[in-house]
Chain A
Amino acid sequence: MIRLENVSKEYSPDSPALINANVDIEKGEFVFLVGQSGSGKSTFIRLLNREEKPTEGKVYVAGKDIVGLSSWKVPFLRRNIGCIFQDYRLLPKRTVSENVAFALEVIGRPRHVIEQQVPAILDLVGLSEKSHRMPDELSGGEQQRVSIARAFVNRPLILLADEPTGNLDPSTAVGIMRLLDRINRTGTTVVMATHDRGIVDTMRRRVIELADGKIIRDQKGGEYR
């Protein structure tokens, strides 16, 4: 599903963000990216949805080289990749259901599809009762659930999560991880950057550890360390 071949990324010559990374991620895998701040986790994620291009090497998503993808094709790549972030990135002036519907409206999905899929996904993330609330009326955990609903409503092949539990208390974080696990069980590949030792050690999934831009560990059923 995802392959990085000799991928390096330099923002400036003296500070490489990623050095010669080689990774293969199968369809339906759940992968944790761990490492200290500045180790290259976010760059790894940004390379997968073509927010960044590597300085060297090739990145394949669903069998296609996305480095040479022309800019007008990038949106079509992103329709297959959902993204969630530590800061939720919800639109403050739209309700919960409008935030989720927005992701379908901007890719031109017909109204009847939107009216069918939005309540279904809100039900999946447990927010059916709060569909008309504004984001600032929700807790952090609920806002992250909305963000997950928005990322998953289009049923993407891959879900990228950059520190999704970073702003949440441990018990709320567990709820979010259960949700991501449930999504992963539908066959969606999940790549999640995290600092949360408890979560990594509990879930025992594949762990890719980065340090100073290098992959120093790639372990199935791994721990945080």
Chain B
Amino acid sequence: MIGKIRFLLAETGQNIWRNLALTLASIIVVGASLSLFGSSRLVADAVDNATQRWEGGIEFVVFMKADAEPSQDEAIQTLLAESEGKEIDSWEYVDKAQTFEEFTEFFADDAELLATISVDTMPPSYRIRPTDTDAGAVAALGQTFESRPGVRTVVFASEVIREIQTNADKISRSTLWAGVALILAAVIMILTTLSIAIASRRNEIEIMKLVGASNWFIRIPFMIEGLVQGVIGALIALPGLAFVRTYLIEDFSKSDNLRLLEGFRVTDSEFLVISLTVIAIGTAVATIGSIFAVSRYLDV
């Protein structure tokens, strides 16, 4: 068994060595396509995180003080209930526990920060959808809450957020399609590389067939070769994704002009999921390309 494995690995190594330029080209195409695909997912996640509280037409959020009296909270709720159907279309109350939950989920990777907070220190808030979404009308309505007792601050959805929200979908969808197109190119590239490897080894393959090598014994080195291309391609995409996360997304969120985008970031767990997805797609791409190549070009 060990001898068989050693022979198959040696054959694979020889295949790759003989076909090195094309193998490298395949790896680069796989890496580039998965970098693009993964980046589109990173940006989509970051946008989701930044705009989560602004989804569904919410125009401003009234944050209460963490130590606001229950009566102060009730007064706000009464006011909102009275305005519902008039200036206010609808509203949602996010209590301390819910805020704490969102906060801990979002900052799951920042243990230091989480250690300093508790449910009691979280400000409850009201997420409000006004009837009139004109910027002036929204600002006037929001300001009426600012001076109420117990209110800490009122935060408005800025033009920037609205624009990002509108365009985010378009951006992530188009990069996703570009990624998918490149992934298809990667499948074709692996297929072509393997077909050339098969053609260049036709003498060995013919002899292997004549002396009774099993069909799988002939196919496996080519399939491993395809898999190597897919997996290495996926692995070289990961530093690219880390770069996008650190230098584009996180630096962008620190920009002074975009204070409202403080939540524009990707958590460790989201990054892990995207990285694993990229590796899985790389493996799948390689498997599809390899299976297609050996069944199409390897006549055993």
Residues of A within 8 A of B (CB): 49, 71-72, 75-80, 83, 89, 91, 102-103, 105-111, 114, 150-151, 154
Contacts and interface: CB of A to CB of B under 8 A. Distances in A.
Interface of B: 3-4, 7, 203-204, 206-215, 217-218, 300
Q: Which of B210, B213, B218, B300 has the most CB of A within 10 A?
A: B210
Given A91-B204, A102-B207, A110 B3 contact: yes
Nearest to B207: A89
A21 B210 CA distance: 24
Contacts of A110: 3
A72 B300 CA distance: 9
A66 to B, nearest CB: 13
A89 B7 contact: no
A103 B203 CA distance: 13
A75 B215 contact: yes
17 contacts: A71-B300, A75-B214, A76-B212, A79-B211, A83-B210, A91-B203, A91-B207, A102-B204, A103-B211, A106-B208, A106-B212, A107-B211, A107-B212, A108-B3, A108-B217, A109-B3, A150-B207
B213 A106 contact: yes
Contacts of A79: 211-212
Contact of A105 (B3, B215, B218): B3
A191 B209 CA distance: 19
A78 B207 contact: no
A28 B215 CA distance: 30
A153 to B, nearest CB: 9
Contacts of A154: 211-212
A72 B214 CA distance: 7
A151 B300 CA distance: 19
A72 B212 CA distance: 10
B206 A89 contact: yes
A78 B209 CA distance: 8
B273 to A, nearest CB: 40
A162 to B, nearest CB: 11
A109 B213 CA distance: 11
A49 B206 CA distance: 13
B214 A150 contact: no
Nearest to A99: B207
5 nearest CB pairs, A to B:
A79-B212, A106-B213, A78-B212, A103-B211, A75-B212
B204 A78 contact: no
Given A78-B212, A79-B212, A89-B207, A106 B3 contact: no
Contacts of A77: 212
Nearest to A107: B212
A76 B211 CA distance: 9
A154 B213 CA distance: 12
B217 A71 contact: no
Nearest to B18: A93
Contacts of B214: 72, 75, 107
Nearest to B206: A89
Contacts of B300: 71
A108 B4 contact: yes
A108 B247 CA distance: 51
Contacts of B3: 105, 108-111, 114
A155 to B, nearest CB: 12
A45 B207 CA distance: 16
A86 to B, nearest CB: 14
